[in-house]
Amino acid sequence: MQESAHAATPGAASGAAQPAKAGSAQRWSPAQPLAQRGEKEYDDSFVGMTGGEIFHEMMLRHGVEKVFGYPGGAILPVFDAIHNSSYFDFILPRHEQGAGHMAEAYARVTGKPGVVLVTSGPGATNIITPLQDALSDGVPLIVFSGQVPTAAIGTDAFQEADIVGISRACKKLNVMLKDIAELTSLINEAFEIAMYGRRCPVLVDLPKDVTGGVLSRAIPNARPFLPSRPMPESIGRSGAHDPARVHRDTLERVAELCNGAARPVIYAGHGVLTSPNGWRMLREFADKANIPVTTTLMGLGAFDELDPKSLHMLGMHGSVYANLAIQSADLVLALGARFDDRVTGNLRYFAPAAKQAALEGRGGIVHFDILPKNINKTVNADVAVEGDVGENIAALLPHVEHRER
């Protein structure tokens, strides 16, 4: 099966084969950007380094503290460069799938992307299940897979697999590195895309001859890594020419519905947890408007279940009272939730009171989501608010009144 590799220990791992350059341990922060960013057009700091050593340096620049994975022949140039690193730990599981799920758990707990390093062939194919899981649950997972040398691609070489093609449906980005000069920009792009908008998995395929090669020329300065950003402009769905005004009007309409509803319910999903201030804004919103809150399975933890307003989890495996509340609510406020089939059941019979209230102009279904494509995908929203859910709730709060329900 997999080729032998240099010994990798679960707790120590990885360091550059050559001493790290001065400043290698520098960590990115908004207050202290990486050295030389924007100071010149070309960066010569990587000249003379192998692809594996550049990988190590880029992990440091992105503040990576844990790497999960399993060594093998096609990824050896990277392991040669990182196996003595004192800057991050390498976690070695019994199987690549375990590495992927460990990295997912790390990302869920810390909010940072989980980084996975595996070899080609079976090493790469074993990571498909974690990739799909991360895509479904909105988890930032960055997988670097080894690949046979570029000259051997397409020859059915030992442990060759078209992992870019295989992973096409379970990632936001997958790409093969073909030129060592593109390695820094690809790594920056992988981190940025994984953390942009709805978080997601990405995969970068690394041929052995590219990671083992030496960079011989200065490269264009890569774009700075940007941490999680809001979508460009949170707007309503009307498509008017003034997005800011439309967004303002949309939030005022949501506030009007909240203030007039007799039986509103907040339906909170995973998007509340991935928003930087989502759970705080949810608590303030529920307290100010005096609205009960139910959460999805992925949204558990977004709202204190000891709070009297908590209805606990809803759906097939949720509480009876949460499901009854949704069915009788005249206003359903879906915050970062995707209307999963195990929550809605038969869509024809989901939230009938809210649908009737919408026809009467006094309620309905309001959907807050960071991904425009999620709006109206499963349940038609009467009002939609796109963008970061925490930011949008913060903008909504001044217009919401306290009500005794």
Q: What is the CA 393 to chain-centroid distance, rounded? A: 20
- 169 in the same domain as 71: yes
Type of residue found at 397 = L
Q: For residue 365, what is the domain's CATH number?
A: 3.40.50.1220
In a domain, 18, yes or no: no
In a domain, 342, yes or no: yes
Distance CA 295, CA 304 (A): 10
What pLDDT score does 227 carry? Answer: 45
What pLDDT score does 252 carry? Answer: 95
- 186 in the same domain as 52: yes
What pLDDT score does 242 carry? Answer: 58
37-75 pLDDT tens trace: 445 688 888 999 999 999 999 999 999 999 999 999 999
- 254 in the same domain as 194: no
**Structural domain span for residue 150:** 42-220
What pLDDT score does 83 carry? Answer: 87
Q: Which of 205, 220, 235 is the last residue of a domain?
A: 220
**Domain total in the chain:** 2
- 180 in the same domain as 148: yes
User: pLDDT under 50 in the chain at which residues?
Assistant: 1-38, 225-241
- 253 in the same domain as 169: no
- 182 in the same domain as 95: yes
What pLDDT score does 223 carry? Answer: 59
Total Cβ atoms within 10 A of residue 75: 28
CA distances to 37, 242, 302, 390 from 264, rounded to whole Å, are 49, 30, 18, 19
What pLDDT score does 3 carry? Answer: 42
- 282 in the same domain as 182: no
In a domain, 227, yes or no: no
Handedness of CA 97, 98, 104, 107 (dihedral sign): negative
- 193 in the same domain as 321: no
- 265 in the same domain as 188: no
- 207 in the same domain as 135: yes
Question: What would the two tokens of residue 386 be?
Answer: 């796109």
Query: Which value, to the nearest 10 degrees, does the dihedral of the CA atoms of residues 99, 105, 108, 113 take?
Result: -20
In a domain, 187, yes or no: yes
Q: Which of 188, 220, 252 is the last residue of a domain?
A: 220
What pLDDT score does 1 carry? Answer: 41
In a domain, 266, yes or no: yes
Q: Which of 186, 220, 254 is the last residue of a domain?
A: 220
User: What one-character DSSP code corresponds to residue 262?
Assistant: S
In a domain, 50, yes or no: yes
**Vertex 110: Cα angle to 221 and 286 (nearest 5):** 115
In a domain, 23, yes or no: no
251-287 pLDDT tens trace: 999 999 999 999 999 999 999 999 989 999 999 999 9
- 205 in the same domain as 74: yes
Nearest to 291 by CA among 254, 249, 259, 323: 259
What pLDDT score does 2 carry? Answer: 42
- 392 in the same domain as 294: yes
In a domain, 3, yes or no: no
The pTM (predicted TM-score) of the whole model is 0.74
Q: For residue 179, what is the domain's CATH number?
A: 3.40.50.970
Residues whose CB is less than 8 angstroms from the CB of residue 280 and which lie 6 or more positions away in sequence, other chains included: 390
Please measure the distance between the N-terminal and C-terminal CA atoms of the chain and give it in whole angstroms.
64
User: What one-character DSSP code corresponds to residue 73?
Assistant: G
